[in-house]
Amino acid sequence: MRPATELIHAGERTDAGKTTSLTMPIYETSTFIFESVADLIKYQEGKLNGYLYSRYENPTVVAVEQKLAAVDGAEASLLFSSGMAAIATAMMSLLKSGDEVVCSAAIYGGTFHILEDLLAKFGVAHRFVSLDDLANLARVIGPKTKMVWFESPINPTLRCVDVRGVAAACKKAGVLSVIDNTFAGPLNQPVLSMGIDLSMQSATKYLNGHSDVTGGALSGTRALINPISKTRRLLGGIMDPLPAFALGRGMKTMPLRVAQHNANALKVAQFLEGHRAIERVYYPGLASHPDHAIATQQMTGFGGVVTIDVKGGKDGAFRAFDKLKVIKRAASLGGVESICSLPILTSQYGLTDEELEKAGVSKGMIRISIGLEDPQDLIEDLDQALNK
Ligand SMILES: *Cc1c(COP(=O)(O)O)cnc(C)c1O
């Protein structure tokens, strides 16, 4: 069935026969009863479809994992207590001492610190390459490279890389391709169908969509997901049943939400592009974006994040930022509420001028996560803030 149908029905009633509940209940339990020693033996031998302990698996979580697998077009999916738990568990599971990870120069700060502060201690090396190098990946992959980890679009410039190209180069070199697909999501950018091995998302963002759950997600083949599932048992980063239920509820309306985020963001981006207080607008859906062509080839929608460069640099951006009324000043993205952040005070905090320039980040940037309010109200809010 198609994604909109799968998101509503996948995983629901998977306990049918036990209850007649239309929706999957919240199994708020840490453990599960076995009726006999015979059942316990059958479970351990994989002959009984049951549950042992909620750090391993929980029926509410499994139900939402089935929705995720359906929308990602994956054989198997896993949910985690945060995006960071998903990233750490995937890397700890798939990498060993002596391996090297190649990543795009601009990646999520948390991912950067896992590589830089944590995995480096265990003998896993990493190398950052520029987006242009990533497009010529075959040149960049070395004998120790085990994994290529990248993002597209990238925060906050929304620069894009050729996802199919990276996947194909990795396949040819026998290297795992992993994308952090948080910004686009599977409806706008179905990365597994483009040949990517493992898709990671912060479920905190568009998957849940209501700014009230922290979660992470991984999707891929069963062969890749099974060992990660074992590592998840050890590290203990599985999502709890209560947030899983909220996430599953959010995911049912994802096609509607994502379509509206796309439409609202495009409208706002088009308005801002003509504004006299704006230096530049970064949105992959605009013809002026440097990666508009590749974005058009690989995305069916351009997402809900718009970044602007305000005239007057830091002072201009700070002034406009403080004047916004409908759009709230908060980190994160992907919720029904429009929120905005200043890259130099969040994702790029503490970088030198040189490092900022390398990341393509200016001091006058404001990143806006366009929500589901009436876009005209967002436009008027931005207009009044920028005019001041
Ligand atoms: C938010 C985010 C993460 C981390 O996810 P958490 O749910 O905050 O742990 C990773 N990658 C990207 C691109 C993100 O935006």
Mutate-to-test residue for ligand 1 from 79, 84, 152, 159, highest number of ligand atoms within 8 A of CB: 84
Contacts of 107 (CB under 8 A, 6+ apart): 128, 149, 150, 151, 154, 180
Q: Compute, in angstroms, the gap from residue 304 CA to the centroid of ligand 1.
A: 15
**Contact status, residue 348 vs residue 319, Cβ threshold 8 Å:** no
Contacts of 295 (CB under 8 A, 6+ apart): 153, 160, 284, 285, 289, 302
pLDDT digits (tens, 9 = 90+) for 27-53: 999 999 999 999 999 999 999 888 999
Q: How confident is the model at residue 365 (pLDDT cuts 50, 70, 90)?
A: very high
Q: How confident is the model at residue 18 (pLDDT cuts 50, 70, 90)?
A: confident
Q: How confident is the model at residue 341 (pLDDT cuts 50, 70, 90)?
A: very high
Which ligand 1 atom is the nearest neighbour of the CA of 84?
Answer: 9
CA separation for the pair 235, 221 (Å, rounded): 21
Mean pLDDT of the chain: 96
The pLDDT value given to residue 187: 98
DSSP state of 19: B
Which ligand 1 atom is the nearest neighbour of the CA of 86?
Answer: 9
188 lines ligand 1 (CB under 6 A): no
Q: Compute, in angstroms, the gap from residue 312 CA to the centroid of ligand 1.
A: 30
The pLDDT value given to residue 133: 79
pLDDT digits (tens, 9 = 90+) for 127-144: 999 877 777 888 889 999
| Numbered ranges of CATH 3.40.640.10 in the chain | 3-251
Minimum mean pLDDT range among 7-11, 219-223, 348-352: 348-352
The pLDDT value given to residue 200: 98
The pLDDT value given to residue 274: 92
Q: How confident is the model at residue 19 (pLDDT cuts 50, 70, 90)?
A: confident
Q: Compute, in angstroms, the gap from residue 71 CA to the centroid of ligand 1.
A: 19
Span 322-350, mean pLDDT?
Answer: 96
Task: Tell me yes or no: is domain 254-387 CATH 3.90.1150.10.
Answer: yes
The pLDDT value given to residue 355: 87
Amino acid at 154: I
The pLDDT value given to residue 137: 87
285 lines ligand 1 (CB under 6 A): no
Span 210-234, mean pLDDT?
Answer: 98
pLDDT digits (tens, 9 = 90+) for 267-322: 999 999 999 999 999 999 999 999 999 999 999 999 999 999 999 999 999 999 99
Q: Does the pLDDT of residue 190 top 90, yes or no?
A: yes
The pLDDT value given to residue 115: 96
The full 3-state SS of 239-271, as one line of letters, equals CCHHHHHHHHHHHHCHHHHHHHHHHHHHHHHHH
Contacts of 119 (CB under 8 A, 6+ apart): 91, 92, 95, 101, 126
Q: Compute, in angstroms, the gap from residue 214 CA to the centroid of ligand 1.
A: 9
Nearest CA to ligand 1 atom 1: 202
108 lines ligand 1 (CB under 6 A): yes
CATH number of 3-251: 3.40.640.10
110 lines ligand 1 (CB under 6 A): yes
Nearest CA to ligand 1 atom 8: 83
Which ligand 1 atom is the nearest neighbour of the CA of 85?
Answer: 9
Q: How far, CA to CA in Å, does 80 sit from each of 40, 89, 113, 383?
A: 26, 9, 19, 39
182 lines ligand 1 (CB under 6 A): yes
Q: Compute, in angstroms, the gap from residue 271 CA to the centroid of ligand 1.
A: 28
Span 91-105, mean pLDDT?
Answer: 96
The pLDDT value given to residue 15: 87
262 lines ligand 1 (CB under 6 A): no
341 lines ligand 1 (CB under 6 A): no
Which ligand 1 atom is the nearest neighbour of the CA of 155?
Answer: 13
pTM for the structure as a whole: 0.96
| Numbered ranges of CATH 3.90.1150.10 in the chain | 254-387
Nearest CA to ligand 1 atom 11: 108
180 lines ligand 1 (CB under 6 A): yes
Mutate-to-test residue for ligand 1 from 104, 188, 205, highest number of ligand atoms within 8 A of CB: 205
Residue 3: cis peptide before it, omega within 30 degrees of 0: no
